Amino acid sequence: MEKACLKWTMLGSLALILAGCATYPDPATTRQIAEKMVSEDFTAPAPALLKRLVQDRSQQICSKIGDAKLTQEEADEVVRLARASIQYPASGKLVGDWKVGNTLAHDGAGDRIQGGRLEKRKENGGLCQNCHALAPGEINVGNVGPSLTGYGLQRGNSEAIAKLTYGRIYNAWADSPCSNMPRVGATRHLTPEQITHMVAYLLDPASPINKR
Amino acid sequence: MPTTRGGIAAILLACLAVGGAAPALAQSDDPLGVGRKMLAEDNPGELWIEQGRTLFHQKRGPRNASLEQCDFGLGPGKLDGASVRLPRYFPDTDKVQDLESRLLSCMVQLQGFNRDDIVKRAISPGGSRGSDVEALALYITSRSNGMKMNVSLGHQKEYDMFKAGEYLFYRRSGQTDFACVQCHGEANKRIRLQDLVHMTDAKGAQEVVSTWPAYRGAHFVVRTMQWRLYDCFWQMRLPELKYASDTSIALTTFLHYQGNGAVIKVPGFKR
């Protein structure tokens, strides 16, 4: 009887110790568990589309958890990769047609996957309206990113500004590593030509974004 | 009836969206808030609760069984307060499960339904009468209305799920470079006119966990948390999130745990 009692006490303690051991996994284990989930939990109409889930080096660096900050080395690496990624249009002309840019800025469609189908279009929308205030008085605009109202009025439309603006759209991380702004050129969401139209939309004095 | 009400709701929102109603509301500090309040006061989603109750008690499926023996963590058939503890670890499946994945287990094991068939229909087409899972999820959650979210981490798999969810919340990928936090990491942000929940803040997390399943005005149906997550990945241009997958349960665990203390009030009302 005593023996049995002792046995149960020991088993009980063991269970308590085991229960007490349950705790947060370390970062490497967490990463392993979560990455396994990502590799198993999504479907796509073509295997190549599953690659969208695979992170590039910059995305890995820019996925800091909570309030964790980028180290200087990490920020430098993201900037370096971003600068190297920027490609200019074959024509060399960085300022396109602001009217096309206006349409693009208000187009949030393209390349989404639903019901086993890819939303295939000739070109993707620019997505700007989702996050940025655009022309004065436009109400249906987001505020995740800074306002772009009067962008050209504040900066002029010199060649240097056009180049800076093109780069910021193509790969925003060249100036602000890991910012929320998607690298729409570098990730191939938009083509270089499309970006030149956005540049025109932002800089041209006749563009609605620069109306007072 | 739900269609008519939803239609009115959609028209109201459409007016707000194109700015047609803006001048009249401009005097208010929060013009959009006025419209939102009007919508929240009359929720067609209530009608899905009765449908869910009927489905729960009905003998259905190849085994001709009801869901009355389904254990959501408090014992077979005990629904009051069950969803405030979800997701949680279930020894019989050896998995951490959210409400919908648990429901799925019961429909397969107790009623004999084919898992793939249920999953295929789980998220209903907009404007339809909704799916069984949507109505059931709403009914079961509604049995916790007025109670506080109280998710606990104790089992190792619960800790693992929570941490995986946190990792995924911050994991950027795809052509938009988005993780959840890009849109849900700050207060008072919007995508176009739609408010974004600030999920890294306790209050924001509480708002989200206490209002799903919700009636979605633009779709005229009740939507669940599984749908909400699926739709975010769609908009992020990522592949399709599998229904009741571990990724979805990890994110739900992360959000629900942070939303502890929120008082459940379903159906919520969403745009």
Q: How far is B137 from chain A (nearest CA, A)?
A: 21
pTM over 0.90: no
| Residues of chain B contacting A30 with CB distance shorter than 8 Å | 160, 163-164, 166-167
**Is A142's Cβ below 8 Å from some Cβ in B?**
yes
Residue A34 inside a domain? The answer is no
What local confidence, expressed as pLDDT, does residue B207 receive?
A: 87
Domain assignment of residue A44, yes or no: no
Domain boundaries, position A130? 56-210
What does DSSP assign to residue B84?
A: G
Is B17 near chain A, with CB under 8 Å?
yes
Closest chain A residue to B186, measured at CA: A144
pLDDT digits (tens, 9 = 90+) for A134-146: 999 999 999 999 9
Query: What is the reported pLDDT for B22?
Result: 36
Residues of B in contact with A23 (CB under 8 A): 156, 159
pLDDT tens figures, B243-258: 999 999 999 999 999 9
Q: Which two tokens stand for residue B58?
A: 């009905």
In angstroms, what is the C-alpha Rg of chain A? 25
Residue A59: pLDDT band by 50, 70, 90 thresholds?
A: very high
For residue B8, the model assigns a pLDDT of 42
Q: Which residues are registered as beta bridge partners of A113?
A: A118
Q: Please write the tens of the pLDDT for every residue from B147-169.
A: 999 999 999 999 999 999 999 99
Give the burial class of B108: count Cβ atoms within 10 A of its Cβ; 0-12 exposed, 13-18 middle, 19 or more buried.
middle
Establish if A147 touches chain B: CB-CB under 8 angstroms.
no
Question: pLDDT digits over A78-130, tens only?
Answer: 999 999 999 999 999 999 999 999 999 999 999 999 999 999 899 999 999 99
CA distance B111 to chain A (A): 25
Task: Return the CATH fold of B43-270.
Answer: Cytochrome Bc1 Complex; Chain D, domain 2 (1.10.760)
A34 neighbors B168 (Cβ within 8 angstroms):
yes
pLDDT over 90 percentage in chain B: 78
Q: State how far residue B158 is from chain A, nearest Cα, in angstroms.
A: 9
pLDDT band at residue B20, thresholds of 50, 70 and 90? very low
Distance from CA of A112 to the nearest CA of B (A): 5
H/E element holding A10? helix A2-21
Per DSSP, what are the bridge partners of residue B121? none
Is the pLDDT at B19 greater than 50? The verdict is no
Which residues of chain B are within 8 Å of residue A188 when distances are taken between CB atoms? Answer: 175
Distance, in Å, from the CA atom of A50 to the CA atom of A42, rounded to the nearest integer, reads: 8
Residue B271's closest CA among B45, B36, B113? B36
Spatial CA neighbour of B86 closest among B158, B171, B145: B158
* pLDDT of A6 above 60: no
CB distance A42–B242 less than 8 Å? yes
**Is the pLDDT confidence value at B96 over 70?**
yes
pLDDT at B194 over 60: yes
Indicate the number of domains in chain A.
1
| Rounded-to-integer distance, Cα B171 and Cα B181, Å | 9
pLDDT for residue A5 is more than 70: no
Q: Report the CATH number at residue A134.
A: 1.10.760.10
Instruction: State whether B192 and A140 contact (CB < 8 Å).
Output: yes
Nearest to A37 among B164, B179, B233 (CB): B164
Residue A61 domain-assigned (yes or no): yes
* Residues of B (54-113) whose Cβ lies below 8 Å from A: none
Of A37, A142, A189, the CB nearest to B247: A37
Smallest Cβ–Cβ distance between A41 and the set B162, B172, B242 belongs to B242
